[in-house]
Amino acid sequence: MMASCNDDSVYAGFKKMESGAYMKFYNKDHSGVMPRLNDEATFEMAQYFNDSLLFTTAGEAPMSIVLTKADFVGDVVDGLLMMHVGDSARLMVLADSVFTTMLQMEEVPEEYVGKPIYYDLKLLSVKPFETLEAERKVVSDSLKAEENAFLQALRDDANNTLTESGIIVMETVGKGRLAKMGEYVDFDFTMCGPKGDTIMNSFGVEPVEMQYGEEFICKGITEAIGMVPEGGMMRFVVPSSLAFDSVGYEQFIKPYTPMVVVMKMNSVMDKAAYEKKVAAKEAAAEAEKIRMEAKEQRAIDDYLKANAITDAPTESGLYIFRQEEGEGDLAQWGEEVSVHYVMRNLKGEQLESSYDYGRPMSFVIGRGEMIPAIEEAVMTMAPGAKVTLLTPSSLAFGEFDLGETLPPYSPLMIELDLVEVK
């Protein structure tokens, strides 16, 4: 990478700008406005590598982004900061920077190392930060007014109770005991926006288990956990000041959104009761694991018997049935290989095939990029070899549930073809 950075030929025809961007202008209009950090820039873009088009806005709406500090010196933001509205330019960046910063990859694909990626940019318009802030304030004031109106109507309802912190309790059912700080709770809840749109829900999915006092979602809901009686339920509203306030949460929750919550308290436990429950749950899980593993072994034994197979497995439990021998050296730990494979369950139902992708799959042995069965088997193969594997779940997908065709602790049949050792 450093060698590439010092290679002047990579930058031929490009000028290093004040921002650090390497650019070549097709059209430059000094009368146009230049963007600043925190302004919104609207632009058209096409991305190229080795003359191949990777991405373009052509035929689509142009891109609009708020210009914040660049991911690396000389990226698209730095390029846009050097342009005027109406300008067209080509930006050049090393692919290494794109992969290691923007894509946060530890290694750069070999074909990209030290090579340039080009961005053709045309700056269409700039919306100043001050205008953006004014627009945000209009939206923010509107959302805040909507919340105030929603909450005030609830506060004015004599059937509702207002806590000191501002939580509005609309209904409480049950007379069980309340959780004390530090105790453990098991509850279900539904959290909606003021218009009834569900944001989060645990009913019918999985109840929440936690120690009361630890924050859960937001300050208001954490407080309310201690207000719901064991065996009972409570319907309440958390104002945004006790939830996500004027910020909101990404694209899911707008600023100034009150949370309408229904919470059912399944149980309240002291530490001893909770630890006893956890131990019982772990014991049940271990017993179920043993049962499933025994069931899997019976399935493997039945398959071997039905097919009159007397081959011994490897030390790990993998059965390797050789169909064709390859030529050359066996694949080694740390080498990159390409394989074709077909995975089936013991009923013969196909689960996945590399042939469906139209190309063999490449991986480096030892990095955990493929299931252990394939990594083990491929080190017994030379290029061109073909084998069939009877794979215990411990070398495949283990306790993961992949649906009806492959429930937890299911053995696999794998047809494996070693295409190439690179």
Tell me the helix, strand and coil percentages in the chain, rounded to 5.
25, 30, 40
Phi and psi torsions of 349, nearest 5°: -80, 130
Q: How many CB atoms lie within 10 A of CB 129?
A: 16
CA count, 13 A, side-chain hemisphere, 167: 23
Top-level class of domain 310-421: alpha beta
CA distance 186 to 225: 10
**pLDDT (tens digit per residue) in 150-182:** 999 999 999 999 999 999 999 999 999 999 999
Statement: 135-269 belongs to CATH 3.10.50.40 = yes
Where along the chain do its domains lie? Answer: 2-127, 135-269, 310-421
**CATH code for the part of the protein at 2-127:** 3.10.50.40
The owner of tokens 């919550």 is 261
Note the pLDDT of residue 10: 65
Beta bridge partners of 277: none
Same fold, 135-269 and 310-421: yes
Given a contact cutoff of 8 angstroms between Cβ atoms, the answer to whether 363 and 386 are in contact is no
Name beta bridge partners: 340. Answer: 417
- Look at residue 95 in the predicted model and tell me its pLDDT: 85
* β-bridge partners, 90: 24, 120
386 residue type, one letter: K
What tokens were used for 36?
């600043």
User: Which SS3 state, helix, strand or coil, does residue 45 take?
Assistant: strand
Q: How many CB atoms lie within 10 A of CB 79?
A: 26
> Look-up: residue for tokens 């694991």?
289
Element (H, E) at 291: helix 271-306
Q: CA angle 244-245-249, nearest 5°?
A: 35
- In tens digits, the chain (422 residues) has pLDDT values of 333 444 455 677 899 999 889 999 999 988 999 999 999 999 999 999 888 899 999 999 999 999 999 888 889 999 999 999 999 999 999 888 888 877 777 787 888 888 899 999 999 999 999 999 999 999 999 999 999 999 999 999 999 999 999 999 999 999 999 999 999 999 999 999 999 999 999 999 999 999 999 999 999 999 999 999 999 999 999 999 999 999 988 888 999 999 999 999 999 999 999 999 889 989 999 999 999 999 999 999 999 999 999 999 999 999 999 999 999 999 999 999 999 999 999 999 999 999 998 899 999 999 999 999 999 999 999 999 999 999 999 999 999 888 888 999 999 999 999 999 98
Rg of the chain (C-alpha set): 31
Query: What does the pLDDT read at residue 24?
Result: 94
- CA atoms 335, 341, 343, 346: torsion sign: negative
In terms of Cβ atoms closer than 10 Å to its own Cβ (0-12, 13-18, 19+), residue 125 is: middle
The SS3 assignment for 88 reads: strand
pLDDT at 106: 77
Q: How far is CA 376 from CA 218, 326, 370, in A?
A: 47, 16, 10
